[in-house]
Amino acid sequence: MNLASLSFFRPRLLDALQGYNRARLVQDVGAGITVGVVALPLAMAFAIASGLKPEAGLFTAIIAGFLISALGGSRVQIGGPAGAFIVIVYGILERYGLANLMIATVMSGMMLFAMGLMRLGSLIRFIPVAVVIGFTNGIAVLIMVSQVKDFLGLSVKTMPADFFGILHTLASHLDTLNLQALLLACACLGLLVSWQFVLPKLSQQHAHAKKISVVPGSVLVLVLASLASQALNLNVETIASRFGSIPSTLPAFEWPTFSWETAKFLLIPATTLALLGSIESLLCARIADQMMADGPYGDRHDANQELMAQGIANMVTPFFGGMPATGTIARTVTNVKNGGNSPIAGMVHALTLLMVMLVAAPLAGHVPLAALSAILMFVAWNMGEWRQFVHLRQYRMPYRATLLAVFLLTVVVDLTVAVEVGLIAACLTFIYRISNLTRAEPVSAQDQPALAGRGDAVQAHRFYGALFFGAVKLVEAIEENLPTQAVVLDLKNLIYIDSSGVDALLSLARACHKKQRRLVLCGLAHQPLDIAQRSGLLGEASHAEWAPDLAQGIAQALAQPSART
């Protein structure tokens, strides 16, 4: 990593502004305002569910949202607090405290920036789908379980972070159920479900329904729930009753207490935040690319630039009272559907939230927590890919085992452990499959007439696939059953050889030399040829001979004098 790498830092905003006109600005402003309205309840809900004050979510959506749009590698991605972080942030907060959460967030930002600077953005795509679906569904379940307390209006001072601890706490406090909070939450959830599934069908038949559908369901729920709570004088907990009033200004810069001893303990949590943030943001950017593919601005996102922007946002936001941020799928989709076509829309979204906070912060205190819990329940349900469980029987056992293992470990143990186990399982599955695809076939006399009548004197084998550590048994099998005169290996169809494969071939060459057998290697090209030359496999000391193709290799093996070519 050097200073020259900084030349790769080019926000997509610079490209988007080329040819920018008034019509596109109007579209961006309209989309940005809409997304800002949608983000308002979500930002507060995510912060509260994470164990923070609601303003932490607003500060994050404003500051990180602006930075991610201004410096990111996507035209339309919206950044801010995300539901995927709730479980992790809550656990860090409970175990290490608020100051250490700030440090962990900054550390994750440094990691994200370094990943982008070292051009590692494309590596995120190598995480298997089964792992992504498993931990996404697991996080969704944890979010729903964590919201049961406010959904039922239970009187619980502190909630544990682990799954079984949450269940035990909920069960032991069921006698404190608040029927008014439960009915309000059910009404809010019913309205959200109707707004998403029933209203679109009515919009196709009635013009008035189509006009109403432009209002975000979450915003409508907040307004109606707040009005109902005040008008009916409901005995439900609100933002103000639990957290006090929301400030109407951005916080001042605050430097947390820092020590290297603390940083060592926070390395794993910070790595988890960075890994999850990178996966979430780049998956979101890919979805945005697909939605924009048919439009006039359908260029693909720059994954490395996006990671650097995410890193900067997470390094800055904690010092102003924020929480971890990443790309958010729901808000990004809303942006695209409402005409957003450049990072200006994301910047307008952040400024919209800032204006709302400056003007209407006191009103947010009347929002019932039961309504926010209903919104989060609905977000978590939409976040999960539940149909994948129904279709599991269509996939092979390794895929099913990986997905279910990651899901269960995410819910019961820990997200970090779940991802680690999922990646290990996926790697082992991949190695097993590739090793099965790699094969060595004996060459018959019908294919090569020169072998006719040679019996066990000369053996020829064709290799296919990749000769790596998981497939060296094929070479070892040949070494255990050497012919009396020569071995010819056709490696033309090998696409890759690793150091273990080269070592197995060198071992075969030594065994042949010791037993006075000849070894001829044929058809090496590209990467296999390069590693064979660099490892000395084709050198004088390797005892292996070289031929351009199988026919010449067999002829060379049958020749009486041993001559290298």
Q: What is the pLDDT of residues 29-55, one digit of tens each?
A: 999 998 998 888 889 999 999 999 999
Mean pLDDT of 159-187: 92
- For residue 52, give both structure tokens: 């923070």
pLDDT band at 226 (very low <50, low <70, confident <90, very high): very high
* Residues 6+ away with beta carbon under 8 Å from 113: 307, 308, 311, 312, 315
What pLDDT shows up at residue 307? Answer: 95
For residue 80, the 8-state DSSP code is E
| CATH 3.30.750.24, the chain: domain bounds | 439-558
pLDDT band at 5 (very low <50, low <70, confident <90, very high): very low
CATH number of 439-558: 3.30.750.24
For residue 195, the 8-state DSSP code is I
* Residues 6+ away with beta carbon under 8 Å from 517: 482, 483, 484, 485, 486, 487, 511
Lowest mean pLDDT among 186-200, 410-424, 514-528: 410-424
CA distance 328 to 331: 6
Question: Per-residue pLDDT tens for 66-89?
Answer: 999 999 999 999 999 998 888 889
CA distance 65 to 38: 13
**Residue 323: pLDDT above 90?**
yes
CA distances from 550 to 388, 400, 558 (A): 48, 42, 12
**Percent of residues, the chain, with pLDDT higher than 70:** 95
Mean pLDDT of 174-199: 91
Per-residue HEC secondary structure of 495-518 comes to EEECHHHHHHHHHHHHHHHHCCCE
Q: Which of 409, 423, 504 is nearest to 463 (CA)?
A: 504
Question: Per-residue pLDDT tens for 231-284?
Answer: 999 999 999 888 888 888 888 888 877 677 777 788 888 998 998 899 888 888
Query: Would you say how long the chain is, in residues?
Result: 565
Instruction: Tokens 């544990």: give the residue.
Output: 160
Can you state the angle between helices 217-231 and 22-49, rounded to 10 degrees? Answer: 50
Q: Which of 500, 496, 490, 488 is nearest to 544 (CA)?
A: 488
CA distance 314 to 196: 32
Instruction: Give me the residues paired with residue 335 across strands.
Output: none
Phi then psi dihedrals of residue 298, to 5 deg: -90, 30
What pLDDT shows up at residue 225? Answer: 93
- For residue 203, give both structure tokens: 């919009």
CA distance 296 to 294: 7
Instruction: Tokens 């040949």: give the residue.
Output: 478
Secondary structure class of 491 (helix, strand, coil)? strand
**Residue 565: pLDDT above 60?**
no
What pLDDT shows up at residue 227? Answer: 93
Compute the half-sphere exposure of residue 325: CA atoms within 13 Å on the CB side of its CA. 39
pLDDT band at 296 (very low <50, low <70, confident <90, very high): low
Secondary structure class of 10 (helix, strand, coil)? coil
CA distance 510 to 381: 61
E-assigned strand segments in 46-157: 79-80
CA distance 517 to 442: 18
pLDDT band at 491 (very low <50, low <70, confident <90, very high): very high
* Residues 6+ away with beta carbon under 8 Å from 355: none
What pLDDT shows up at residue 493? Answer: 92
Mean of all residue pLDDT scores within the chain: 87
Question: Per-residue pLDDT tens for 332-386?
Answer: 988 888 888 899 999 999 999 999 888 888 888 888 999 999 998 998 898 888 9
pLDDT band at 395 (very low <50, low <70, confident <90, very high): confident
Residue with the bigger pLDDT between 228 and 132: it is 228
Question: What is the DSSP pairing of strand 439-442 with strand 326-327?
Answer: unpaired
CA distance 164 to 108: 28
CA distance 386 to 381: 8
What pLDDT shows up at residue 260? Answer: 73
Q: What is the CA 274 to chain-centroid distance, rounded?
A: 10
453-484 per-residue burial string, b: 16 or more CB within 10 A, e: under 16: ebeeebbbbbbbbbbbebbbebbeebbeebbe
Amino acid in position 463: F
CA distances from 373 to 151, 184, 195 (A): 6, 10, 17
CA distance 498 to 434: 13
Alpha helices in 81-215 (DSSP H): 86-96, 98-117, 129-146, 148-152, 163-172, 179-193, 199-203, 207-212
Mean pLDDT of 510-523: 90
